Chains A and B, each alone.
Chain A
Amino acid sequence: MSNKEKKWFSLNLKNEKKSGGCGCGKTTGSCDSNTKELKRKDGVDQVFDLKMDRRSAFKKLTASLLIGAGAVSTSCSVFSDEKSKEKAQIDWEEQFKGNYKLMTDEEKSATVDRLVRSYQLRTGKTINMSSKNAEKDVLFGYAFNISKCQGYMDCVNACVEENNQDRKSQMQYIRIHEMKDGKGFNFNDADDNYYHEVPAEGHFYMGTQCFHCDNPPCVEVCPVQATWREEDGLVVVDYDWCVGCRYCMAACPYDGRRFNWSKPEIPENEINKNQHYLGNRLRKKGVMEKCTFCVQRSRNGKNPACVEACPTGSRIFGNLLDPNSTIRWVLENKKVFRLKEDLGTEPKFWYFMD
């Protein structure tokens, strides 16, 4: 914010500086802090990493605990088969794993393997879960054409199906606000829960969802760093690390977050089996979730489900750092604006009109 010459593409400046430098003060040559950074730990040893000896001691402790747990489960379950033992082992390791944000790539794929195996053991079906990291020189952004949106809500349905949201409570990441013509952007008089034929006479439509702020207040307030901003600008949640205090929900000015008040229910045949750890994998009760710009799709070069589903083409998604992307064209050629800019949250979600 202090940078007066800041343009939309400089959103990432702060971040790039952080990743480029190392904070040790040296501008040339190498320093230790970067190499130290590389060594990341999993589980409880993430924080017991003060010294190597302490860390390895803890590793041993964890290993012995695991063996102990295995022994307990073996001795306690005379009649149980190999499968339930494996299930118990997986549950144990999942319960005491670390924060995904701080995991190494191996640890990330290990937890993903455990989750896939666990699902297989439980349901006999195989899912495909990814732990793909953010790619370099990618910063995702989104633009919404208010003139085009007709309020069909296809985006909402596609989102629910793609992201395995709870059907029982009808959780929806996207809200479409039906506004009256001639009243401006008056959210107070808008209806975000309409059930009638669209487009309704004398109305226009505006969609909101998580704006993936570059300066996200929800990330700051989380007491356990269960939510964070990824390198490609996505604000994500580690569902297994979230303690469910809902402080982030109170901090979000855009109504972008949803909570699992009870156990999410999705009919087995409707589950999207193409999943990402940070995205649409199945959630449990008592954790926060939100739009991830369909991380399981966007990191594979596809558009989010809402963009693909929109019949009017009012949704535009792309890489803000790619000068040839559509989103860049929109930002350069349209009069764009963002919601509640005065709060300093720097959303990466722009609105425009034809």
Chain B
Amino acid sequence: MRRFKVFKNLVGDSIDIITHGSKKYHLWMAFLTFVMLVGMYCYSIQLDEGLSVTGMTDRVSWGLYISNFTFLVGVAAAAVMLVMPTYVLKDIDFKQAVLIGEGIAVAALIMCLAFVVADMGGPSVLWHLIPGIGVFNFPNSMLTWDVLVLNGYLFLNITIPFYILFKHYQGKKAKTSIYLPGALISVFWAVAIHLVTAFLYQGLQARPFWNNALLGPRFLASAFAAGPALIIIVLAVIRTYTKFKIEDKTLKKLAMVVTVAAQINLIMLISELFKEFYAPTHHSESAYYLFFGLEGKTALLPWIWTSIGLNVLATIMLTFHKLRNNFRILFFCCFILFVAIWIEKGFGLIVPGFIPGPYGKIAEYTPTGIEIGVTLGIWAMGAFVFSILARTAIKIETGELRYKKK
């Protein structure tokens, strides 16, 4: 019973903490709330009129929502880059950062689920997808695998940090024997969520652009570049605005992870480009559309070339120790790398899968304002969730928030 009391106290204290703060904090949260409300308004229009308010059609049937979903799965998976050294390899450097990483994973997963729900034609019958109540087409459909791994990963990433924070809140030490098995599982689980999401596309013989053995590994490489890049930026912000101590060493180690992943990602990109353009076949048309356009349809050209430019620039700059160890340059590199991979693993991956269509029809896709509104709303929701989680976690970790300490 004591536990419930402590839990009640924790919830009360954290609500207290997340509703009080500096002017900047309040402005930030108000801004996010506003964007979320706009997103909700856009979604209400979509619910009312159907998905016809989006830019999606029978020709390009997945768009911005699924693109962002795919990218965010990668961000969530990247939390493992912090978990593994901290819990398993007992690397002290990452210890403070790991809770932040897991917070990002939780926020990213909630956004993933929100994007999937936003993409559904019939959200009112979504219970058909709940194992045990609906009809779950497992193991045939990769989407059911994805439902399982994403929710499982969400569970792991909520429970492990919660246990640690709950103990710290009471001024106790978290027992390694309790959270280490979970942490170990989550390491493998993180690889699984991204691989399964890649298999979602990779398994479709109808879409040669996706039906490619490199898709899964490349997902992992780009995720382990974009995810830690985001974590570096977030840590930098937290370091500036809170008392939470994050050492330079932590950021430098993370930067190393980003660099290696970005380099591997670039090698795989070259391999992919070689395959598509050295001996182009009928199946290379989607790649042609993406990089050069087909029949004068060139909507994705500026995006993908921006992405490649930023990707190459960031990777080269990160490769040099001198540049990487300069924090200003590092943060800039992380930012452009994040944007580059958002384009590349987002609509740079999803949209060309549908173009040209099964019979060669080239119909382009442009997201509508409502679609963009919903997307921004979901991103704001992710940032909102993360802000709440991080704020509580930081207060507990810095010792400001303790049970029965008034």
Contacts and interface: CB of A to CB of B under 8 A. Distances in A.
Interface of A: 44, 46-48, 95, 98-99, 101-102, 169, 171, 175, 177, 187-190, 192, 208, 217, 220-226, 240-247, 249-255, 257-263, 284-288, 343-345
B403 interface: no
A250 B353 contact: yes
Interface string B134-169: 111100111110010000000000000000000000
B360 A261 contact: no
Given A241-B125, A243-B125, A261-B50, A250 B136 contact: no
B4 interface: no
Contacts of A252: 206, 358
Contacts of A221: 140-143, 203-204
A188 B360 contact: yes
Contacts of A249: 58, 61
B359 interface: yes
Contacts of A261: 50-52, 54, 56-58
Secondary structure at chain A's binding surface: helix, strand, loop or mixed? loop
Contacts of B204: 217, 221, 250-251
B136 A224 contact: yes
Given A188-B360, A246-B62, A249-B58, A223 B206 contact: no
Nearest to B285: A188
Given A224-B128, A253-B205, A259 B58 contact: yes
B143 A247 contact: yes
Contact of A285 (B58, B121, B142): B121
Contacts of A226: 128
A258 B125 CA distance: 19
B213 interface: no
A188 B135 contact: no
Size band of the B side of the interface?
35 or more
Contacts of A251: 204, 206
B121 A253 contact: no
The list of the 5 closest CB pairs from A to B, nearest first, reads A244-B121, A286-B121, A253-B206, A188-B360, A261-B52
B126 interface: yes
B134 A190 contact: no
B206 A287 contact: no
Contacts of A284: 122
Nearest to B124: A95
Contact of A255 (B49, B54, B56, B358): B358
Secondary structure at chain B's binding surface: helix, strand, loop or mixed? loop
A21 to B, nearest CB: 20
B129 A224 contact: yes
A250 B56 CA distance: 13
Contact of A253 (B122, B126, B358): B358
A217 B49 CA distance: 30
Nearest to B358: A255
Contact of A243 (B56, B120, B203, B358): B120
A220 B141 CA distance: 6
Given A95-B124, A254-B358, 5 more contacts: A192-B361, A224-B134, A242-B125, A244-B120, A285-B51
Interface string B64-103: 0000000000000000000000000000000000000000
A243 B128 contact: yes
A244 B116 CA distance: 11
Interface in B261-320: none
A245 B205 contact: no
A40 to B, nearest CB: 12
Nearest to A345: B205
A224 B62 CA distance: 19
Contacts of A242: 121-122, 125
